[in-house]
Every structure is written in C-alpha cells, then in structure tokens.
Chain A
Amino acid sequence: MPPSLPLVKGTLDLLILRALAWQPMHGFEIASWLEERSSGALDVDDSALYQGLYRLEGRELIAAEWGITENGRRARYYKVTARGKAHLKQETATWVRYTETVTGILTGPTEA
C-alpha cells in the first residue's frame, strides 16, 4: 500500500458533498466511500470527517436525519441540500480550474 496522502485544506468538505451527491449516507458510509474511492490513499481521520459534517450542517449545505440501516441499526443520515448542490458545483469547477492551472505550470517544459 502506498503511503497515504495528507488532505489539502478545504478538500474534505468537497469530498463529503460529492459522496452525499451520490445518495444520502451516514457517517461511517461516507468514511468507507472515501476509503474505497481513494483506494485508501487519502488520510482522513474519522474525527476530521465528523467535524467536516457538522461544519457543513451548520452552513446548511447538508441536512441530517436519524434513520434505520438495512441491518436495523439507528444511524444519522446526511443528504445534500439545494444550497449544498450549488456549492458543490461551483467549488468543483474552481477546484478543477485551479488544479489544471497548477498542474500545467508544474509539468510544463522548464526553460533553459
């Protein structure tokens, strides 16, 4: 397993929103989803994940509701609000443009 990558500041919120854009999930599901998607390359503390969730909830980008899982456990389910969707769309565009630009510069030809 390659060494895990530290998270760039601010990206966790985006990743959570992306995960929830898929479908409503509870905290553990989101954690598993992130591990799966990044093949374990992203280093996210579970405490950081919950802080992120509460931060997003406070900004009303996501909303929470208690529900029952498939195997009958109570869990707090999160879903993206309309504001959250708009935020995700906008921030994703910014992120893409940002990384493209930085990548372009970093991988471009070096001048003599």
Chain B
Amino acid sequence: MSFSIRPHIRRAFRLALRRRDLTQTDTDEELRSHLAFRIAQLEARGLTHEEADREARRRFGDSWEDAMNRVHDAARSRDDRMAMRERLDAWWSDVAYAGRSLRRQPFFTVIVVATFALGIGANATMFAVIDRLLLRPPPEVGNPRTLLEVSRLMTRGGVTNHFTVMPYPLYTALRADSTAFRDVAASSFITAQSIGTGANAQPVQVVLASSNYFRVLETRPALGRLFGPSEDGEAPSSDVAVLSDGFWRRGFDGDTTILGKTIRIGPRDFTVIGVTRPGFTGVDPLNVDVWLPLSYAPVFGMVRDGWTNWGQVWLGLVTRLQSGVTPDVAARRTLKWLTDGEAAWDAKPRGMRRMPDAPFEMRSTLPSAQLADDPQAKLARLLVGVTAVVLLIACANVGSLLFARGTERRREVAVRLALGVSRGRLLRLLFAETAILAACGGLLALVLARWGVALLHATLLSDFAWTESAFDGRVVAATATLVVLTVVIAGVAPAFRASRPDLVESLKSGGREGGIGVSRLRTLLMTAQVALCVVLIVGAGLFVQSLRRAATVPLGYEPTGVLTASVMNLVPLGYKIPQRLALYASLRDRIATLPGVAGAAVAATYPVQGMFRFAVDIAVPGRDSLPPSPDGFVPTYNAVSGGYFSALGIRITDGRPIIDSDVSTATRVAVVSDAIARAYWPGERAIGRCLVLNADSVCTTVVGVAADVKQAIDGTSAGFVVYVPLRSEWDLGPNAVIVRARNGRAEELIPAVRRAIQGTAPNLPYANVQPFDALLAPQLRTWKTGSSLFTLFGGLALVIAAIGLYSAISYTVAQRRHEFGVRVALGARMPDVVRLVMDQGIQAAVIGTIVGAVAAASLGGVVAPHLFQTSPREPAAFALAAVVIVVVAALASVVPAWRASRVDPVTALRAD
C-alpha cells in the first residue's frame, strides 16, 4: 500500500521528496480508478463491458496515448513545482533556524560578525581605492582604449621611466602627419595661476589645451561649448576659458548664467564659454579648475624663445591613430620626426642633454598603464596583498570559532543524525549559519568601507580628483564576492567536521571534552593567525622606520621652520627683472620685521623647487676641461640675497656666504657647493679662485664654499651649484622669499606673511606661502602612506587575532573546567592553573612569531623597493613584532586564565 503524506507534514519532518517513479504509479492508479468508475456507470446504462471500456477511454480524448502523455506531463510539472517550493521552504527554514540559533549565542555571533566586518571591510576599502586608481578609464573620455599618449622611454641608471613632456614643434609635426595620426591634441601640465588680486586672490589649477583637445578626448560639455577651431593657432586671439565642473560649483556656486561672464587669470580677462561634465579631468586623475587655449602659453611664460623651440619640453600629447597604424609604427615615426626636427633646429641651447636613441612608446591612457611607474600605485598593489592577509586572519579566526562551536554542538548534531536527518541537510544547516554571519559582516563591511574610502581619499589621496564617491555598485559587488569567498574559506571545513561526529561517542560522553583533533586544528589556526600578524607588524615597522629615516635624512639644509613665499603670475603681468627685484626687496624688508621671523632672504630658486633649475656654463681659466658632476646633471646656479644660507640653514664650510653688500656693490663674487670645490680643486682651497660663468668676460671670485644640498630626499647631494648675488646682470629674477621662523613653527607665520605681502603693493596676485615641510611632503608620501596603512591594517589584524586567541583560550578553559576542578581539588594552587592556561596562548604566540618571522624575512624582496634606507630584515622591526605579539597573547590569555583559577572544584565536579 502506498500512502501520501501532506507536503507540510513532509516538510516538518524533513522527509525526502516524492520520487518520480512513485508519481508515475500514483497517476496511473488514479486513472485506473477513474476508468473503473466510468465503466461501472456506463454498464449501468446498459452498455457491454467492451463498449463501456471503449467509451470511457474515448472520453479522455481522441487518442488515448496522447491523452495519457498530456496527463502525465501535467503530473510531472505539478511535482516539479511542488518540489521547488519545498526546496525553497526548506531553505528558508534553514535560514530561520540558523538565525534563531545564532540569536541564542550573541557573544559568538557578535565576534564572528565583527571579525568578518573588519576583514571584508578592509578589503572592500582597498578594492574601492584600487578600482578608482587603477582599474577605471579616465572619466568622461570617449573610447579611452584607442586614446594613446605619446611617451618616451628614458633609461637612466638602469631604471626606465616614461617621459611624457614633449616640445611644441613635435606636436605640429605629428599633427601634420596624417598618414599615421588621425588626430593629435596637446595640453600643458597643470600650473597654479592666480585668479583675482589683492586679498581676494586665489590660486587656480590651469591647463593650456590645444583647440582640438576636447574633440580628441571625445568629451562633451555640461554647459556651453568646449574649444573649437576659433581657438586654433599660435596667436592668443580668443580670450576664452572652459571651467571644470568642480571649479564651477566651488567658485561660482554652479551659476547657470556663467557663460559669457569673464574671469581674470593673471594679466587677462577670459570669457567663460563652457563647463565640462562632472568627473572630467583630462587623461590624468588630478584636479583641474580651468582650461585656457594653448596659444596663451607665452602670456603665462610657458613658452620661451618662441614656438619653434625643440629644446623646451612642456606638452603632453595624446593621439588617435589612423586605422591600421600600429602604435609601434607611430612610435617609430615620432622618433624620426623628433630626430629630424632637432637636427634642423639651429638654436640649440647650452647644456641640452640628448638621448637620441631613447625610443617612443604610444602608451595607453588607461590608468593601469599610466600609473605603472607610480610609486603610490605600486604601493597600493602591495597593500591589496596586506588586506588579503587581514582577510585570511579573519577567516582563520572564524574558522577556529566554528570548529569550537561544532564541538559544542556535537550532541545536537548526533541527535539529529540519529533521528535520520541526512548529512547533506545538516551541512546545509551549518553552512547557512556561516552564510548569515558573513552576510551580516558584509553589510557592516560596506559601512566601514564607505567610511574608510572617504578617510583615505581625504588623508592620503587628496590630490586625486574623484568627483563622485569611489564607493558604488562595483564595490558592493566586490564585497558580495568577498562574502562568498570568506564563507567558503572559513565555513567549509568546520561544517564538514561538525556534521560527522562519532555518534556513539558524542552521545555517551555528554560533549565535555573537545576532540583532540579539533583542539589541534584550532592551535594550528591560532598559530597561523599569529604568524600572519607578525608579517604585517614587521611590514609596519619597516615602513615606520623608512618614514622616520626619510623625514630626518640630512638634506644639507634645515627645512623645518622655513617658509617660502612667492607671488604668482608676475612674469605674465609684465614685471621685468628690475621691477621684480624691487618688489621682492620690499617684501623681504616687510617680512623680516614681522614678530617671530628670525631671518628672511630672497632667491631665484631653492632646493626641491624642481621647476626652476637654471643651467650655468662654468669655465676655469687655464683648464681645458672640468670634471663632470657625479650626479650626471649639468651645473646650475642660483641668485640669492644676503641671509639666504642662514635662512635655509645651509652650512658654509669655508670662506663666507653671500652678503647684502655683495648685492648692492658690483663685486663679482660667488659661493660654490662643496661638490664643485672637491671636484675642481681636490685637496686645495677654493677660496679666491676665478670662475668664468656663462662665457662672461671677467672673473667671478669664489668667496665661500657651501655644504651640498639635496634636491630630493632619495636623491644624491653631489650636485654642482654656484650661488651668485641677486642682481639683474645674471638674468635670474627673484622668485621667492625664504623666511625662517624664530620658534621653528613656520605654519603659524603664514597669515602674517600673506598680509604683509598684500600690504606691500596694491592688487598683487595670489601669493603662494607654504612651509618647506609641505614642499617635501609629496616626497615622503610613499612612506607615509605605507606606514599609516601598514600600521592600520596591522593593528586591525592584531585586534582580530587577539579576539581569536582570547576566544580560543576561553573555550579551552570552559572545556577543561572539569579537569581544573579536579586539579584544584587535588591541591593545585592558583598560579599553577594560571600558568597552565597562559602557556597555551604564549606557546601559540612563540611558534607563530617564529613562523611569521621566517615568512616576513622571505617576503623582504617584495617590500624592499618601497623602503628608504631600511633593510627588509631590519632587526628592530622583527623585535617589535615579537614583543607586540607576546604582549597581546599574554593579555588575551590573562582573563581566561584568571577565570580558570577561580573554578570552584565542587561546582565543576558536580556539573556532570
């Protein structure tokens, strides 16, 4: 006899669904019974049995076989439908059941969710940043894949870099070469210009762009129009400006009537003709406020010696190639255009360095290619690895907690199995729990990531232009993927293990002792967590050490406490050198009398200021050739007022510095850098020697030797520098006032210095006043980012591991309560029990530290390129990691140990 069970009963008892062959016989029986009824009915009306049978079948339709097929099909689709619904119901009831059981254990739930949230959150944050930095094409640029950037591969000291600044004549040559290039657009690099004058003056980030720039980038305006043919040509005729969406909103409150209004930038009024779409910044992800026509380059002093100068490199070129022309072909043609152009150019400047063979490369404008050499981007990739380690630690932690939970539930599982619940179903139940935990962790991770991305953008990546948040659907999708991944990593093994208890054993022992296997597994996971933490802490230590060394590396001058103040746009406003000398002299006088100023000087340039490095030709009478500078650069010179060396803190190693009377009288004197003195007059004094500068006719006498100065933190200090008095004859105008603060806190002087400048003359453009430390900050950024994020993620990992350690030890203590009770009853004293428990944590910490240290040492090569004067095997970093880990392990075990020592033998022994 077959019997049918109602669906909800079947569900309640988790019984198997009906099988297909059962359905078939069921239906057949139903139809047989129908036929019997019909035949009986017809026979009662007087038909013979054969007639009745034929009629009964006929009533099912013209063809009995077709009819049967239709009915069986209907039965099958009914069963499929019901099976599906039952499966969904079962699924839902699993989830609901898992949810209920998690609610009963809030401590476990909170810890696991928090661990997941931290681990997944860190990864989601890094994903969002990497996604923005490296994975997305530049926003609002059409067909970014076919947009290529003209770059040149320059190899120096074995390192190849992409140089992307090109001379203007190369641009015109490529534009004319329509065989290879469909179109070529040029834009200058971003420069700060002053908008407005006097107290209202503001700096704006300006890019000069060719008339076809926006067309080649295939971007459209949000408002008005972008540059077109009327902006073409080399004569500044069309006084127009395009604003970026960000500047339009920030500077003009998103005024929709902005078109036709004028803004004053430097010496000229520009009419606003359009606003770009939000997010558009050109090819680079850097903030731009205004685009002006390229023809204004001479007005802003960006083109020297006319448009035919092959020696001045200042333009970025982007191109779309003709179809069928490969980037390699275009690159070779470009090199030929450059070589031919340079050869035909007759006004080669002195000291122009050539690399005639350096090949061109048509480089993708996608960020992955653009940021290939960028140290920050490389570091970001390393940090992805770091967050992955954090996630692994989180997974190990959760996995270990789940193992423990599995042991606790052995009895429950055994009962279920004994009652006939299938193992697959049990697995699903256990898995549902992990999935719920991970999903909650994932949701929380999204909140954390949103916050983390905003924090990273504000602190470490502030010069990257992200108009819309980096946090979007892609991050959510990535987080969902991470959730699935963590469920698999953390959940599979514990679920399998928990679903296979030794039935008889579990029911008998009452689940008191944790299985030996599980406890060994947990120890292993704990050790692994510690080891991974050690790797991260060593990394953090190495970066912190690098930052410290980089920040305190001897530069040859004392940047802390120094301000530089420059008035922008003086050259485009028509200030000639004598006028600039007069203006800066009075600026210096006013600033020098401000309270808190220890000294002030004027200079043409200063260290770090890479924009202004002025080459100088040096000759020494009686010598045919002079030794070259060991750093490979041509000698440069700087014109300074008195007080320059003391304001910057550059030591005078011999003779005297430049003093103010050198400037006012016409004596021809110079101070040379130590590198020059050593190279030109080894073993002799340089004082009193004669230099002939720039093919001059007279001697310039060396009166002093100044200590070598580094241009870059990681650069050499062996540069050849000649300091001359700041006078008009050197063709070097003053560009900055160097101010030394009396108390060493330069930033406190900024408002007073700015007021003093604006009070010197009416309607001056914006004055750029910045502490010297801020100028150096970009050079420190890699180590700063590295040390902050390594410390942050290392700390996170440590917290997670500490939670893991704590919960694992607490668990063991709970499991061994009985044993402790016995020990205490047999006379063990409190310190004995404490030591017993602490040993477990310390042991894991020590083994983990050794394993982690070995791993960290073998990973040294990965971090080495990011470090500064720090070996990846720096013992201090390893010592730090070991101390931190042991302290944390001790802290994590002290509470459970204390609890173990308080076990009351009577209660513990009576409990079972």
A contacts, CB < 8 Å to B? 26-28, 31-32, 45-48, 50-51, 54-55, 57-60, 63-66, 73-76
Contacts and interface: CB of A to CB of B under 8 A. Distances in A.
Contacts of A31: 34, 38
A47 B4 contact: no
B33 A28 contact: yes
Given A46-B59, A59-B81, A76-B33, A66 B3 contact: yes
Contact of A46 (B4, B6, B60, B74): B60
Contacts of A76: 26, 29-30, 33
A79 B673 CA distance: 104
B29 A74 contact: yes
B34 A54 contact: no
A54 B79 CA distance: 9
B61 A45 contact: yes
B37 interface: yes
A54 B60 contact: no
B71 A51 contact: yes
Nearest to A51: B74
A107 B79 CA distance: 45
A21 to B, nearest CB: 20
A27 B30 contact: yes
Contact of B61 (A47, A63, A74): A47
Interface in B51-71: 59-61, 67-68, 70-71
A28 B60 contact: no
Given A47-B70, A60-B82, 9 more contacts: A46-B67, A51-B70, A51-B73, A58-B78, A58-B81, A59-B81, A60-B7, A75-B33, A76-B26
A65 B30 CA distance: 11
Nearest to B64: A47
B60 A47 contact: yes
Contact of A64 (B3, B4, B85): B4
A60 B8 CA distance: 11
A45 B59 contact: yes
Contacts of A50: 30-31, 34, 71, 74
Contacts of A45: 59-61, 67
B71 A54 contact: yes
B36 interface: yes
Interface of B: 2-4, 6-7, 26, 29-31, 33-34, 36-38, 41, 59-61, 67-68, 70-71, 73-75, 77-79, 81-82, 85
- Chain A to chain B: the 9 pairs with minimum beta-carbon distance, closest first: A58-B78, A47-B67, A28-B37, A54-B74, A51-B74, A58-B81, A54-B78, A47-B60, A46-B60
A31 B73 CA distance: 20
A27 B2 CA distance: 19
19 contacts: A27-B30, A28-B33, A28-B37, A31-B34, A45-B59, A46-B67, A47-B70, A50-B30, A50-B71, A51-B71, A51-B74, A54-B77, A54-B78, A57-B82, A58-B81, A58-B82, A65-B6, A73-B37, A76-B30
A16 to B, nearest CB: 13
B70 A46 contact: no
Contact of A63 (B6, B30, B74): B6
Contact of A58 (B31, B34, B71, B77): B77
Contacts of B7: 60, 63
B34 A46 contact: yes
B621 to A, nearest CB: 108
Nearest to A56: B78
B78 A47 contact: no
Contacts of B68: 47
A64 to B, nearest CB: 7
Question: By CB atoms of chain B within 10 A, which of A54, A59, A64 has the most?
Answer: A54
Contacts of B81: 58-59
Nearest to A50: B71
A38 to B, nearest CB: 15
Nearest to B26: A76
Question: By CB atoms of chain A within 10 A, which of B33, B60, B70 has the most?
Answer: B33
A64 B81 CA distance: 15
A75 B37 CA distance: 10
Contact of B33 (A32, A48, A59, A74): A74
B70 A55 contact: no
B61 A65 contact: no
Contact of A66 (B4, B38, B73): B4
A26 B36 CA distance: 13
A46 to B, nearest CB: 5
Contacts of B79: 58
Contacts of A32: 41
Contacts of A57: 78, 82
B34 A28 contact: yes
